[in-house]
Amino acid sequence: MTTGDDRAEDATSAPKVVPDAPGPRSWQRAFDDLGQGWRQRPLWGYLGWQDIKQRYRRSVLGPLWISITMAVVATAMGILYGALFGQDIRTFLPYVATGLLIWYFINGCILEGSEVFIANEGLIRFLPAPLSLHVYRLVWRQTLFFMHNLVVWAILAAIFRPPLGWSLLLAIPALMLLVINGAWISVVTGIIATRFRDIPPIIASLANLLFFVTPIVWQYDTLLKNPAVAERARIAELNPVLHFVEILREPLLGEPIVWRHWAVVGVITVAGCIAALVCLRNYRSRVAYWV
């Protein structure tokens, strides 16, 4: 056909200049993705709220159910395990509730993180948007859940009066660290899980296991004080989630701050963010093909 001639004709208006755009696999594009997603705060902010309202649409109490569920579980577990381990309920109940509060956030980020792109398949395939948008939305939603659950902590703190001090302010950077880690783990597991669909069930079963090896319904301190198991109890520190729980729980309960946990969390945060950037750089442009 007349392909050649017509194409030449078409190019009359402008000489063919392809601007020096960075290729699909470049650091520039990875950072652009994060930046553009961040600038779309109104969108993911709205969507995150919508997700929560949606879940409780048409229920009378609405999102208040989040707090109620948390209160019921924390109270039941606090009383049960407090009795089993012979703990004072006045300290053990806030301990369990605070642990659960933090665990729910971590668990939510891990579980939903691996499905973050799979769940948004329709949006990814039909609307151009930075990948990070879906991650921001997820972490924001989990943060909102956290804020609802925080009400339970506040009530328990008012009743049982843990020795809160200025260290409470450390809860803010601790929460920020948790949020950052929630974001990188969503990026990394989300991208890998989009390619390999066996990852989400693997992660779901691991998350179940993590709950039991993390000191939430049991106390790490009491094990350390027991000379019979103190040596073995140290193994618990190999669980990275323990450190995340500790950095936020210590300020929230007015316990002495153990900086070792902060150091571990810091190292994990840096390593995780690097991993997320590498994944974004190498596979960001592939996600639309994989979903």
Partner 1 sequence: MVSIDLDGAAVDFPIFDAKTRSLKKAVLGRAGGRIGTDSKVPIIEALRDITVSLRQGDRVALVGHNGAGKSTLLRLMSGIYEPTRGRSSVVGKVAPVFDLAVGMDPEISGLENILIRGLFLGMTRKQMEARVDDIAAFTELGSYLKMPLRTYSTGMRVRLALGVVTSIDPEILLLDEGIGAVDAEFLAKARTRLNELVERSGILVFASHSDEFLADLCDTAIWMDQGTIREHGPLRDVLRHYKGRDVLAEIEAAR
Contact characters 168-197, partner 1, x per CB under 8 A: ---------------------------xxx
* Choice from 27, 38, 85, 289 touching partner 1 (CB under 8 A): 289
14 binds partner 1 (CB under 8 A): yes
256 binds partner 1 (CB under 8 A): no
31 binds partner 1 (CB under 8 A): no
Output the smallest distance, CB 207 to partner 1, in A.
Answer: 17
Output the smallest distance, CB 129 to partner 1, in A.
Answer: 7
What is d(CA 257, CA 247) in angstroms, rounded to the nearest whole number? 8
40 binds partner 1 (CB under 8 A): yes
The sign of the CA dihedral 16, 19, 23, 24 is negative
42 binds partner 1 (CB under 8 A): yes
Contact partners, residue 63, CB within 8 Å, separation at least 6: 52, 53, 55, 56, 148
260 binds partner 1 (CB under 8 A): no
* Choice from 86, 128, 227, 256 touching partner 1 (CB under 8 A): 128
* Choice from 102, 124, 217, 265 touching partner 1 (CB under 8 A): 124
What is d(CA 87, CA 283) in angstroms, rounded to the nearest whole number? 49
Angle of CA points 77, 80, 81, to nearest 5°? 80
Contacts from 215-222 at CB under 8 Å and sequence distance 24+? 215/99, 215/242, 215/245, 216/96, 216/99, 216/100, 216/103, 216/245, 217/77, 217/81, 217/96, 217/99, 218/81, 218/85, 219/85, 219/87, 219/95, 220/246, 222/85
238 binds partner 1 (CB under 8 A): no
Output the smallest distance, CB 17 to partner 1, in A.
Answer: 8
Residue from 186, 235, 229, 244 nearest 213 by CA: 235
Contact characters 80-119, partner 1, x per CB under 8 A: ----------------------------------------
Output the smallest distance, CB 67 to partner 1, in A.
Answer: 22
Options 4-12, 70-78, 137-145, 223-231: segment touching partner 1 (CB under 8 A): 4-12
What is d(CA 241, CA 151) in angstroms, rounded to the nearest whole number? 23
Output the smallest distance, CB 290 to partner 1, in A.
Answer: 8
**Contact 66/198 with Cβ under 8 angstroms?**
no
Burial class (CB in 10 A: 0-12, 13-18, 19+), 121: middle
The residues that touch partner 1, with contacts defined as CB under 8 A, are: 1-3, 5-7, 9-11, 13-14, 16-19, 21, 23-24, 40, 42-43, 46-47, 50, 54, 57, 122-129, 195-199, 202, 285, 288-290
